[in-house]
Every structure is written in C-alpha cells, then in structure tokens.
Amino acid sequence: MNQQQNRPQSEPFTVEEVQRAIREGGRALVELAERVGRSVKKEGLTTNQIRNIYGLVKQIEMRMKAAQRQNTAGNWEHELVMLKPKMAYAAARASGRGAEILARVLSHAIDEVGSDARKFARFVDLFEAILAYHKAAGGR
C-alpha cells in the first residue's frame, strides 16, 4: 500500500512522509512541502503566522552555526524541541486549521531531526519550501 493511501483524508501528509523528507531531502521533501504549503493556505494560514515561527527557526539556525564555528555544543536541540509548544499555542490562537496542520507536520519533523545537524538543515529546507509553496498558492 502506498503512503498516499495511508494518509487520512483530512491530512496533507503522513508521519512516514515527514520522516522520509527529513532523512532524504530532495524530491520527498519538495513533494511534501508542496502539499502542505497548498493545504495550509487553503485552510487559512497567513504568511505572518508562518513567518513568526520561521523567524524563531532562523534564530536557532544562526546560533547552531555559531556554536559549530566555535566548536561548542550549543543548545540548539533544546531550542528546536521548545518550538513544539510555541507552535501549539500559535495554532490554538489561530483561526482555521492551517496553523494546526503546520504545527503537526513541523512537530513530526522536529522529532525526526533529533540532534542531527544535517537533518536540522533539511528541516529548515522543508520549512522554507512550505513557505514558498504557501506563497505560490496565493498565501498572504
């Protein structure tokens, strides 16, 4: 059975698709991002709502890269996991299901990242691609 058949009708993704996108990147990541980006736009998510969380992700990325340059451990894994409650709060405040869908897909992606810096880079790629497809679908 293919993954599309396993996907609940109300969801533009399966957990396995998110995990694969973070592990492999490439086509799996882009196809997932396109479905999610279009879906969250259709469900009323605004660009500002996405950018609020995206800004936090970019801050984590900058701190992680600074820690790597200095050969220190940094705290990016903790900061990344702490995005999950922030996204849940934002989703609860938002109207429509778009923020909830985005929070779920990114939460599954965060679980797959763990403490792997390469997977974190794919997480950032996934987020940027979702934002791009949201905008391409007419998101404001």
Residues 6-26: b if buried by 16+ CB within 10 A, e if exposed: ebeeebbbbbebbbbbbeebe
- The pLDDT assigned to 1 comes to 43
At residue 89, the pLDDT reads 94
Determine how many CB atoms are found less than 10 A away from the CB of residue 98: 23
Q: Mind listing the pLDDT tens digit for each residue in 26-62?
A: 999 999 999 999 999 999 999 898 999 999 999 999 9
Specify the pTM.
0.90
pLDDT tens for each residue of 68-101:
899 888 889 999 999 999 999 999 998 889 999 9
Give the model's confidence band at 4: pLDDT under 50 very low, under 70 low, under 90 confident, else very high.
low
The residue with greater pLDDT, 84 or 8, is 84
What is the model's pLDDT at position 112? Answer: 98
